[in-house]
Every structure is written in C-alpha cells, then in structure tokens.
C-alpha cells in the first residue's frame, strides 16, 4: 500500500521535507527512533544522488519519491530522469584510493542502512533505486 508519493524538483531544498516524510512513515510503520533517523539519512543520500548525479540539477527534470508499506516491510523508491547508472561502476568509498573522494558515499551508506538496495533502469530513462527495510521484532 502506497503511503506517500511525490514528485520533486531537482533542487537540494526539496530534500528536507521528503526526508522528514520518510521518517514519519517509518515511525508509523513501527520503526524505533534510531531506525527512523537512519532511514531518513538513506533517503536524503539517494535523493541528493538522483538530483546531482542523475538529473545534474537540471530544472526540467524531476525526481520521483514513493514510500509504501506492506506488513512489516517499508519500501522506498527514488527515480530520476538522468542517463542511468550501474551500481557496480560506483567506486567503493572504503577502498584506500577512494577515501579522499568528495563523493561516492551515498549508495554505500544506503546499502549499509537498508536491508536491500536495488538499482534498475527506469522507463523511459533514468534510474530507480529501491530501498527496503524490514521491521525487526
């Protein structure tokens, strides 16, 4: 069941409200305060990636943001209208040669926070990042 769905402009100013909304959805789903914070952080990182790397802050391109819940599973989809990317091509920020890079940590952070992070092509263009978090008892 979709809990929240919105279309954002490719502007960083749009991220705060979406992050806060994702935290509220996580709270309503029963996640504790710590999980709420980290889910919000993962959402923030992936939204900024979609705007910066996907849409290149192009004001004509939008970012899709959807939160849904089924039972104890929270699913968050972020889509962009960029060129798309292969998650395997993103440099691992934990490798010594990448430690001083100024970017490249967002997807790794989301992977560390969420139970699943899937990156697929979005039709007709762009990328879809699906993040899944399961409520643990």
Domains and CATH numbers, the chain: 2-134 (3.30.565.10)
Query: Which pLDDT belongs to residue 86?
Result: 67
Residue-wise pLDDT tens digits, 75-133: 999 999 999 776 666 667 677 776 777 667 888 899 999 999 999 988 788 999 999 99
Nearest to 7 by CA among 60, 49, 75, 70: 60
Mean pLDDT taken over the chain? 91
When computed from its CA atoms, the radius of gyration of the chain, rounded to whole angstroms, is 14
Pair 59, 9: CB distance under 8 Å: yes
Q: Which three-class secondary structure state does DSSP give residue 56?
A: coil
Question: For the residues 24-48, what does the mean pLDDT come to?
Answer: 97
Whether the pLDDT of residue 11 is over 90: the answer is yes
């Amino acid at each position: 069941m979709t809990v929240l769905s919105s279309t954002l402009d490719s502007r960083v100013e749009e991220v705060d409200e979406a992050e806060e909304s994702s935290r509220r959805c996580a709270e309503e789903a029963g996640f504790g305060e710590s999980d709420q914070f980290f889910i919000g952080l993962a959402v923030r990182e992936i939204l900024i990636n979609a705007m910066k790397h996907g849409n290149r802050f192009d004001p004509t391109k939008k970012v899709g943001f959807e939160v849904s819940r089924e039972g104890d599973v929270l699913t968050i989809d972020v889509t962009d209208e960029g060129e798309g990317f292969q998650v395997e091509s993103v440099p691992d920020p934990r490798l010594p040669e990448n430690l001083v890079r100024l970017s490249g940590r967002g997807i790794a952070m989301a992977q560390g926070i969420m139970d699943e992070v899937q990156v697929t092509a979005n039709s007709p263009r762009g990328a879809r990042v699906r993040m899944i978090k399961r409520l643990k008892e």
